Structure 1
Amino acid sequence: MFKEQIKYGNSTIEYYLDFANRKTLGIKVYPDKSVHVIAPNGTSKNKVSGKVYNKAAWILKQQDFFLSFHPITPPRKFVSGETHLYLGKQYRLKLISENKESVKLHGGSIIVYTKDKENKVHVETILKAWFKSKAEQHFNKLFDELVPLSKSFFKGTPTLRHRWMDKRWGSCSPKGEILLNTELIKTPKKCIEYVIIHELCHLAHLNHSAAFYELLNKLSPNWRKTKDELEKLMV
C-alpha cells in the first residue's frame, strides 16, 4: 500500500493506494476521513492521481460530512502540567488546594482551586463546568452576531443550545433549533463561527447537497481552510 497525495485548489488530499485484480478503480472515504483507493493491477500512478483529482470535490464533501459527526479530542488525565485548549490556545493546567473551589485563567495557565486535587474525577467536573459557562457566554454572543445571515432563507427565529457530545460538532432541526457541542469552546473563535454558519445553512438545506455547499461558500468563503484548522487542532 502506498501513501499518495494531490493538490486540489487550496486543499491537499492524501490517500492510500493499493492495487488488486479488478477491472475498475474504487475510492472510499472512511469516517476517520482517510481516503483509500484500490486500482486495477498495472494502472499507472499518474492515471490514479488523475482519477482522484476528478473525484476531489466529492472526496472533500464526504470528509466534511464526517467532520460533522466526529470531533476527536485527546484523553486527559487532569493533572498539573498537562495542556488544555481554550479558544484555540494551549494552557497549562495548575491544581491548587483551596476550600473555595473555582477556576481562573492566569497567563498561560488554567488554575483550578479545589478541595481535593488528587480526585481527578472531581477536577474534571469542576473544569467542565467552567468550560460550559464559557461556552454559554461565547456561543450566545457569536450566534447573535451570525443568525441574521439566515434571514434571507429562514422565516422563523433560530434558537441555540449546547451540550457535550461525542459524535458531532453540531446539529440543526427543521424548526430552527441549533445544537452545538460544548467541546467547541476549546477551538478558535473562527472555528466556532464556521460550525454555527454550517448549521445555519442547514436551515435552508437539511443535507449536504450542492445547494447546501453553494450557500456555505457564499456565507463563509474560507470555510475549507477553517475546517482544516479545526481538524488539525482537535486530533
Structure 2
Amino acid sequence: MTAIPEEVLGLRVEVVRSIRRSAALHIIGSDLQVRVPEHVGDERVAAFLTKKRPWIRSKVAEIQRIPPHRPKELVSGESFPYLGRHYRLKVQEGHQVGVCLSGGYLKATIRPTEQGEHRTLRIQQYLQNWYRSRALERLQEKTNRYAQQIGVSPAGVSVRNFRSRWGSCDKRGQVVFNWNIIKAPHSIVDYVVIHELCHLIHPNHSRDFWQVVSRHDAAYPEHRQWLKERGEGLL
C-alpha cells in the first residue's frame, strides 16, 4: 500500500477528510493541505499528490519569489494590521499593563522592571491577548449578523490559533475561527464568516455549497484568492 508522503517539495502534507465530493489542494503557509472525501484512502491521496506535482511545483516557485516575511522586533514604530488598517506600535511603561487601540496607535504598556527578552515576550503576549479578544468580539458580531441573513443558528462561536485554516464548523454547529483573520480587511473576514456559516447548510464544498456562499458574498472568488496570496502574512 502506498503511503502518503510527509512532505512534497518542502511543504508539509496535511490531509483533511470531510463530507465533500472531490479532492482539492491548498497551500497555507508551509503546509500543503489535501482536502478529500471521507471515503478516500491513503493510496488515492498519494496518487492525487503525484498527479498534482507539476501544479505544486509551480506554486512553490511563486512562493519563493515572494520576499521572506521578517519577524517583528516588537518595538515602537512597527506596523500591525487590524481589520485591514495598519497601526503603529507604541511601547510605554506603566502599571496598567496590556494593549489598547488609542489615538491611532496600538499602545502596549509594560512594567518598568520588564527588560530584555522578557520585555519582548511580554509585549508579544499582550498583543496576542488583545488580538484574540478583539477577534472574538468582532467575529461574534459578524456571525450573529450573517447567521440571521443566511437563516442558520450556530451553536457557539470561539477563536483558536489554527496553523493552516481560517475556520471550521463541526456537526454540532460550533463555529471556530482563526483569530489571526481579524487582521484582514472587513470583506475578507466577512467571507470567512459566511463560508463557515454556509457549512451549517452544506457540510461540504459542493456546487450547492458555493452557490449559497455566492448569494451572500458575490465576490467570494476574489476573497478566496486574497487569502491564498496574502493569508500567510497574517499568521
TM-score bin, normalised by smaller chain: 0.5 to 0.7
- Which of the numbers 82, 107, 110 marks the counterpart of 2:106? 110
RMSD: 2.6
- Counterpart Cα distance in 1 of 2:76 and 2:148: 42
Q: Is the 8 A contact 1:88 1:186 kept in 2?
A: yes
Give the Cα separation in 1 of the matches to 2:78 and 2:115: 14
CA contact (8 A) 1:95 1:117 kept: no
Query: Mapping of 1:201-220 within 5 angstroms?
Result: 201-220=198-217
Instruction: Measure how far apart 1:227 and its partner are.
Output: 2.8
Query: Which residue of structure 1 lines up, in the alignment, with residue 175 of structure 2?
Result: 178
Larger radius of gyration: 1
1:179 CA displacement? 0.5
State the identity as a percent.
27
- Tell me, in whole angstroms, the C-alpha distance in 2 between the residues paired with 1:74 and 1:207: 36
Could you list the per-position Cα deviations for residues 186-227 of structure 1 after superposition, in whole angstroms to 9, with x for gaps in the alignment? 112221111011011111222212121122112211112223
TM-aligned CA deviation for residue 147 of structure 1: 0.7
Deviating more after overlay: 192-201 vs 112-121: 112-121
* 8 Å Cα contact 2:28/2:228 also seen in 1: no
Equivalent position of 2:139 in the other structure: 139
Offset of 1:108 from its aligned partner?
A: 3.6
1:113 CA displacement: 0.7
Give the TM-score normalised by structure 1. 0.63
In structure 2, how many angstroms separate the alpha carbons of the residues matched to 1:225 and 1:132? 26
Change (3 A) 1:157 1:206: closer
- Counterparts of 1:86 and 1:106, CA distance in 2: 13
Asked whether the 8 Å contact 1:178–1:199 carries over to 2, the reply is yes
Once the two structures are superposed, residues 41-86 of structure 1 have per-residue CA deviations (whole angstroms, 9 ceiling, x without a partner) of: xxxxxxxxxxxxxxxxxx9xxx9xxxxxxxxx86333222221111
Question: Distance in 1 between the 2:197 and 2:115 partners?
Answer: 41
Q: Where does structure 2 lack aligned partners over 5 or more consecutive residues?
A: 1-23, 30-54, 60-68
Q: Residue 169 of structure 1: CA displacement?
A: 0.3
Task: Tell me which residue corresponds to 1:77.
Answer: 73
CA distance in structure 2 between the partners assigned to 1:215 and 1:202 by the alignment? 10
1:191 counterpart = 2:191: no
Asked if the contact 1:90/1:108 (under 8 Å) is kept, the reply is: no
Aligned CA distance change for structure 1 residues 159 and 172 (closer, same or farther; 3 Å): same
Is the 1:97–1:117 Cα contact (8 Å) retained in structure 2?
no
1:50 aligned residue: none
| 1:94 to 2:94 alignment | no
